[in-house]
Amino acid sequence: MKKNKFVLVAIFVAFILLLSGCGNTKKLSCTLTQNNNTMVMNYVFDGNSLKEATAKYSFDISSYNQTQKEALKKSLNLCDSFKNSATFGANTLSSCNQEITDNYIVANASLDVQKITEKSNNNLSIDDAKKDFEKIGMICEIK
């Protein structure tokens, strides 16, 4: 009898959580590749509320000779590219770190969810974000 009550309580709690929107997390992932650059934007929504926004910007330097690679490693700052981009991260960059390997320069960024939401007049949905990214040629999927 106790086991049946526990199962009923567990089902009731799961039902309440489902109704309140818990577990309604969706991830929008969009990719744009041009020349030697790859940009990946990830937005995580809980219901219609943006909870997390990250970006990864990779620059493939494997096709350059050693002198060109060294020059790029010294001069290319992908975090600055994020900061100055009208599309990606303009005034929304929270943090960014850049890693340099033999063949890639990679920047990983966190974006300010509140500023992104404010830019959309506090009305950003996953479908609207997907449409905006697709307008600039990104390939997107919702998971």
Lowest average pLDDT, out of 13-27, 49-63, 65-79, 122-136, goes to 13-27
CB 44: neighbour CB atoms within 10 A? 18
What type of residue sits at position 32?
A: L
Q: Exposed, middle or buried: residue 110 (CB in 10 Å: 0-12, 13-18, 19+)?
A: middle
With 90 as the cut, is the pLDDT of residue 60 above it? Answer: yes
How much is the pLDDT for 97? 95
pTM of the model: 0.77
Measuring CA to CA, how many Å separate 77 from each of 15, 35, 106, 127? Answer: 49, 17, 9, 31
Comparing 7 with 85, the larger pLDDT belongs to 85
Question: Given CA atoms 8, 13, 18, 23 in this order, what sign does their dihedral have?
Answer: negative
How much is the pLDDT for 27? 97
Q: CA nearest 129: which of 21, 51, 36?
A: 51
**Fold exhibited by the domain 24-142:** YehR-like fold (3.30.1830)
How much is the pLDDT for 88? 58
How much is the pLDDT for 107? 94
Dump pLDDT digits (tens) for 1-51. 555 544 434 444 344 444 444 568 999 999 999 988 999 999 999 988 999
